[in-house]
Amino acid sequence: MKVLQSLLIAFATNVFRATVSARPTLEAPLYELQTVHQFANLTWIENIGIRANGQILATDVGSSRLFLVDPNNTTQASPPVIHQFLRGTTISGLVEVEDDVFYTIGSLESNVYNFTFAKNTTKIWQIDLREYSVTGNTTVSEILALPKVDVGNGLTLLSKQDGTILIADSEGGLVWILNVHTGEYSIAIDHPFLKPIPSAHPPFGVNGLKVIGSDLYFSNTNKGLLGKFPISLKKASPTGQPTLVSNNTPAADDFAVGPDGSVWLTENVRNTLVRVSPNGNITTIAGGVNSTALVGPVAAKFGRGRWDKHVLYVSTDGLLLDAKGNALSTAGKIVAVDTSACEI
């Protein structure tokens, strides 16, 4: 993988407005980023999923495409587009339910660059990669319309055996449970910690989700929250009161949870990757408000192989805005961070 080169662009940081405390972020040296792949302009890598073989499935929310990126292939000029959705489909979250069978969520007739999402158009698709290594074919099937979900965003697996996943509804401020086999879906959690700020643009509350043990971790973008609910692993209903890990994570987007319980969180319009320890201490790992090293980080996943379990892959939107908040360009990328070097 090639070492990340600085992007010579400025970036506006006032799209999301978060309500946070004044708790300081710990000072620490920034860690090296390595570029896995730099995409062309108008490519917004909203989410990533890691296959068992180490390849990275990536959703391009800007152009409604699915890429397959090989982090071991440093000579790959352009990763293959394995599926083109209908233009205007804002595909976002990714979750693997069966081995090499992923699911993604999106809205039709929408425009992520000005944060407009058509109502009653949310859908779920299945992405079957089980034959890809043999035939080079990917089977993508629409499995369900979810008209009650306003803006589907982060996804996480609840039960592989039951085929249940959880959906972050960012605009509705809800967590939904969906059985991908039966098509049944309902509200699992409705709580003030999940709600957006109505006056924010966009009004995005709950964003990232991750089930760890019997806890559901969540982020709230507008309110700058990172927290967790104790839940039932059958219905995802809360079994107790939620805990706020931190209320000082402005522009909180997607995240990954490390083996020690630390949360590696992307702060999107702050151009920052942070590590939030279980006691709530926050350390900047890469980027920063005035940095161009990591422009618009949106998703984070750990590798699955023996060689990269300690490697955190981060995708970006690369979004450059003008003074009025209009998109000028976006050239997203995927970078890697060696977290074994992050002794903090």
Report all structural domains of the chain as residue ranges with CATH numbers, in order of start.
Answer: 2-339 (2.120.10.30)
What proportion of the chain, given as a percentage, has pLDDT over 70? 91
Helices (H) and strands (E) in the chain, counts: 1, 27
**According to the model, what pLDDT value does residue 23 have?**
37
Q: Please confirm whether the linkage preceding 250 is cis (ω < 30° from 0).
A: no
Q: What is the mean pLDDT of the chain?
A: 89
pLDDT at 55 over 90: yes
Greater model confidence, 38 or 329: 38
**According to the model, what pLDDT value does residue 343 have?**
59
pLDDT at 253 over 90: yes
Per-residue pLDDT tens digits for 146-186? 999 999 999 999 999 999 999 999 999 999 999 999 999 99
CB of 169 within 8 A of CB of 151?
yes
Q: How confident is the model at residue 109 (pLDDT cuts 50, 70, 90)?
A: confident
